[in-house]
Amino acid sequence: MNTEQTLDLKGFTCPIPLLRTKKVLKQMAAGDVLKILITDPNTKGDLNRFCQRGNYEMIDEISQGDHDVFIIRKCDKE
């Protein structure tokens, strides 16, 4: 069964959000979904590049006014 976790990183600046995201995703199973809440504008590009280069799918990116929400799925290993 796939699970969803939420990682609240509001208030943290680069590189902390990316480092914490990597750590959590590493512990998750393939197919699991991570919802990340961020306020640092520099982290947006970092998360997009991270997904493009890795085994992760950016499902959605939503602006919530004072923060952004990223939803990332860990894909099966190739």
Active site residues: 14
**Mode of pairing for the β-strands spanning 56-63 and 68-74:** antiparallel
20/6 Cα distance (integer angstroms):
12
